[in-house]
C-alpha cells in the first residue's frame, strides 16, 4: 500500500482556515505593493475591509480565516512602512551628500 508520500516525510495536510486567510492577505498586499501603493493607503483599505467582519456572527472557520488575514496584513503593512521609511532616509542622506559635494566643489573653485 502506498500513500503517495516520500518515505520519512509526513503526509501533506490540507491548509487550515488561518493559513488560507494569511495567503489571501499575502497575495493581495503583494499586488498592492507592486502597484506602488503606500503602506498608509494599503492599511486604509485593509481597515475598511476588516471593519465589515463581525466576530459575534462569524463561524469558527470564519474567525480563523479572519485571524490569519488580519495578522498577516498587519505584519506585511508594518514591514512595508519600515521599508518606505528606510528608503526615504537613504534618499535624504544621498541628497545631503550631493549637496555637500557641490558646496565643496564650489569652495574649491572659488579658492
Continuous H helices in the chain: 17-34, 39-51, 60-110
What is the spatial distance between Cα 81 and Cα 21, in angstroms, rounded to a whole number?
21
Model confidence at 98, in pLDDT bands (50, 70, 90)? low
Output the pTM of the full model.
Answer: 0.71
- The DSSP secondary-structure symbol of 55 reads T
Whether pLDDT at 70 is above 60: yes
77 close to 46: Cβ distance less than 8 angstroms: yes
Please write the tens of the pLDDT for every residue from 80-91: 999 999 999 988
Amino acid at each position: 500500500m502506498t500513500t503517495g508520500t516520500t518515505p520519512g516525510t509526513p503526509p501533506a495536510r490540507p491548509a487550515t482556515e488561518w493559513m488560507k486567510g494569511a495567503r489571501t492577505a499575502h497575495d493581495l498586499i503583494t499586488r498592492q505593493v507592486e502597484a506602488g501603493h503606500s503602506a498608509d493607503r494599503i492599511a486604509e483599505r485593509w481597515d475598511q475591509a476588516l471593519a465589515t467582519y463581525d466576530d459575534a456572527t462569524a463561524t469558527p472557520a470564519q474567525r480563523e480565516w479572519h485571524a490569519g488575514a488580519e495578522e498577516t496584513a498587519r505584519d506585511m503593512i508594518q514591514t512595508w512602512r519600515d521599508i518606505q521609511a528606510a528608503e526615504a532616509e537613504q534618499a535624504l542622506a544621498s541628497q545631503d551628500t550631493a549637496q555637500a559635494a557641490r558646496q565643496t566643489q564650489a569652495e574649491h573653485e572659488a579658492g
